[in-house]
């Protein structure tokens, strides 16, 4: 019994000693625990706040690199916003009845495209009948480029040769159609569109294609007058069109109506950016919109999707 009491006494002494040690180490223990909790908090904060910011910065770096870095990106976005605002103002001025609010809030038929973008056979035939079709007329895929010869982003897409590169890759599987339309009131847009159509009237698709491509290639401005009106007739002569016939066509302004018709067609296709690219499967009538001057990979993915 005495031995047992000694063990119990030893246990009590050991317990008391441990408590004393814990009391001695308590400040350091609390400090370490506090430091650990702060560290965990910092890591969590980094996961939820810092990392997303880094990801966002990386995404923006990719966007900046497409246009020659951040300053150009901001300038281009500002110009695009100005284009949109100018277009809206002009459109409302010409169509005051559409600018008025409507009481029928449930009716979205005039402002919302259908979920399935499909052209009927008649619609597709009408689109092609009014167009100059480049490359294989029997191709499964048609790329319709709704453009503006004075639009900075349209100029960019043209100078990058996006459509030509697609032709080189897909060959006879694709053809293309280039159409002008009114997006913003650029000073020379209408007369350049009319001149291009005159070139097509006199020299068919080859002359049309050559003419508008040369305007894009030689455009040196971003203010709606990148290609001078004074150069329209000399350019026609350069591609071997008869000067007198070309001037007669241009002075008559007969192609302004076609320019306006292409603009109305653009609206019906719900193309709401510049350039507006429409990729069409000619067998099914299904089409996909690519708004703005995207990298060629975006076009390739949509074409591949429609070729399936």
DSSP state of 137: T
What's residue 183's pLDDT?
75
Round the CA-based radius of gyration of the chain to a whole number and report it: 33
Lowest mean pLDDT across 12-26, 128-142, 244-258: 12-26
More confident residue, 123 or 273: 123
pLDDT band at 19 (very low <50, low <70, confident <90, very high): very low
pLDDT band at 49 (very low <50, low <70, confident <90, very high): very low
The structure tokens listed for 306 are: 């429609």
pLDDT band at 108 (very low <50, low <70, confident <90, very high): very low
Task: Say whether pLDDT at 256 is over 80.
Answer: yes
Q: How much helix, strand and coil, in percent to the nearest 5, is found in the chain?
A: 65, 10, 25
Lowest mean pLDDT across 23-37, 131-145, 159-173, 200-214: 23-37
Dihedral of the alpha carbons of 73, 78, 83, 85, in degrees to the nearest 10? 150
pLDDT band at 66 (very low <50, low <70, confident <90, very high): low
Count of beta carbons in the 10 Å neighbourhood of residue 250: 20
Q: Which residues pair with 139 in a beta bridge?
A: none
Task: Say whether pLDDT at 38 is over 60.
Answer: no
Helix (H) or strand (E) holding 246: helix 243-252
């Amino acid at each position: 019994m005495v031995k047992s009491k000694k063990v119990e006494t030893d246990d009590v002494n050991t317990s008391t000693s441990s408590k004393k040690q814990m009391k001695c180490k308590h400040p350091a223990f609390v400090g370490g625990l506090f430091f650990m909790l702060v560290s965990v908090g910092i890591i969590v904060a980094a996961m939820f706040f810092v990392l997303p910011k880094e990801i966002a910065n990386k995404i923006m770096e990719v966007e900046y690199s497409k246009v020659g870095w951040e300053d150009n990106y901001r300038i281009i976005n500002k110009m695009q916003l100005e284009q949109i605002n100018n277009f809206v103002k002009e459109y409302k001025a010409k169509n005051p009845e559409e600018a008025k609010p409507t009481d029928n809030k449930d009716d979205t038929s005039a402002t919302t495209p259908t979920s399935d973008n499909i052209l009927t056979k008649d619609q597709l035939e009408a689109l092609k009948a009014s167009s100059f079709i480049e490359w294989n007329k029997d191709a499964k895929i048609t790329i319709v480029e709704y453009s503006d010869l004075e639009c900075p982003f349209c100029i960019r897409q043209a100078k990058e040769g996006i459509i030509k590169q697609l032709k080189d890759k897909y060959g006879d599987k694709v053809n293309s159609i280039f159409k002008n339309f009114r997006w913003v009131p650029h000073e020379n847009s209408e007369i350049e569109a009319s001149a291009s159509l005159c070139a097509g009237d006199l020299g068919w698709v080859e002359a049309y294609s050559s003419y508008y491509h040369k305007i894009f290639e030689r455009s040196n401005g971003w203010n709606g007058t990148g290609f001078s009106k004074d150069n329209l007739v000399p350019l026609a002569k350069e591609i071997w069109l008869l000067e007198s016939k070309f001037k007669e066509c241009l002075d008559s302004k007969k192609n302004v109506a076609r320019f306006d018709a292409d603009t109305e067609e653009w609206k019906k296709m719900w193309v709401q950016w510049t350039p507006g690219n429409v990729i069409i499967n000619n067998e099914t009538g299904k089409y996909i919109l690519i708004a703005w001057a995207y990298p060629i990979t975006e076009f390739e993915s949509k074409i591949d999707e429609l070729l399936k």
